[in-house]
């Protein structure tokens, strides 16, 4: 069953995040649509939602498997008055908010892997893609794309990531209402966003570290063909990943793909 956008919109009335809902059954990518709407002047808090994506995007030209009828694919339009280099902190903020929303329906621990993966039992249940449009003098808009596997069955995942992905249904043994989850997600996003605008990244960092999946683990980080290994040493005051090398020297990684190493 596709979404009932009217019912959803009425539940979100009065909210900052979700103040407007743009629903289409099928889109190429909710992030692409949201970027276009943002460019056309869409208000902060507008949520773009689809039942299915034909070209769901991950980072670095990767794709996000987005079949119909089972998952959440949404993008939130924000217009924060922050310097452009702080926009990546919103990815971490979104991770904390979505982890809280998931935790309301799933008793398993939801961990966050820097920068943008939510994991249950080490498998990816949600990916977040933040895209920013700058204008002279600062940020015009930030689009936070969230792909959450809700009722997808293991057999339906692409073989390429079947062993590394999961859904809420796989973890809890039951189906979940996508509408309730979207509502929860907007509800958890809003206070975190307000805290971030008012008090900066420090409280978000605390919330993020409390859910960090990487604590005590060895990581391999890939950025622009360069590989670095080390032990997770937290995240910096601006959200950069910190890893400690053999000698204990701390390196900052501002962007890249981190893999948690076994053993
Ligand atoms: C991400 O990229 O994890 C960000 C995904 C963001 C998707 C949302 S859906 C709504 C919005 N509109 C969009 O067009 N995008 C956003 P990345 O870290 O690059 O991870 C991508 C990798 O995750 C792929 O290369 C696969 O290995 C794996 N993958 C693809 N689809 C998956 C799925 N449904 N569940 C789990 N893993 C998946």
> Closest residue (by CA) to atom 25 of ligand 1?
62
Does the predicted model carry a pTM greater than 0.95?
Answer: yes
Give the pLDDT score at 4: 86
List where CATH 2.30.30.100 sits in the chain.
Answer: 218-260
CA distances from 110 to 45, 54, 100, 107, 219 (A): 25, 28, 8, 9, 19
Whether residue 112 is predicted with pLDDT greater than 90 in this model: the reply is yes
Give yes or no for residue 75 CB within 6 A of ligand 1. yes
Query: Does the Cβ of 145 fall within 6 Å of ligand 1?
Result: yes
Return the CATH fold of 5-210. BirA Bifunctional Protein; domain 2 (3.30.930)
Beta carbon of 141 within 6 Å of any ligand 1 atom = no
Ligand 1 atom 10: the closest Cα is on which residue? 73
Closest atom of ligand 1 to CA, residue 53: 14
Instruction: Enumerate the CATH 3.30.930.10 domain ranges in the chain, comma separated.
Output: 5-210
Question: What are 31-46's pLDDT values in tens digits?
Answer: 999 999 999 999 999 9
Q: Which fold has domain 218-260?
A: SH3 type barrels. (2.30.30)
């Amino acid at each position: 069953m596709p979404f009932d956008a009217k019912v959803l919109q009425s539940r979100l009335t009065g909210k900052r995040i979700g103040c407007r809902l743009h629903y289409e059954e099928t889109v190429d990518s909710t992030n692409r649509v949201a970027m276009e709407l943002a460019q056309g002047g869409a208000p902060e808090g507008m949520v773009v939602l689809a039942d299915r994506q034909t070209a769901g995007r991950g980072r670095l030209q990767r794709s996000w498997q987005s079949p119909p009828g089972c998952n959440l694919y949404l993008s939130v339009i924000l217009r924060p008055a922050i310097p452009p280099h702080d926009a990546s902190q919103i990815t971490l903020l979104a991770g904390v908010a979505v982890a809280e929303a998931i935790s309301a329906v799933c008793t398993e621990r939801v961990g966050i892997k820097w920068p943008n993966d939510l994991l249950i039992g080490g498998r990816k249940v949600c990916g977040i893609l933040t895209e920013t449009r700058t204008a002279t003098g600062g940020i015009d808009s930030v689009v936070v794309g969230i792909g959450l596997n809700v009722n997808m069955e293991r057999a339906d995942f692409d073989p390429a990531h079947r062993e590394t992905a999961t859904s809420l249904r796989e973890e809890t043994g039951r189906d979940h209402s996508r509408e309730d989850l979207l509502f929860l997600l907007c509800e958890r996003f809003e206070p975190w966003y307000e805290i971030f605008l008012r008090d900066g990244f420090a409280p978000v960092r605390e919330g993020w570290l409390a859910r960090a999946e990487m604590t005590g683990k060895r990581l391999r980080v890939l950025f622009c063909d360069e590989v670095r290994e080390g032990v997770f040493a937290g995240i910096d005051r601006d959200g950069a990943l910190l890893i400690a090398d053999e000698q204990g020297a701390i390196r900052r990684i501002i962007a890249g793909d981190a893999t948690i190493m076994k053993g």
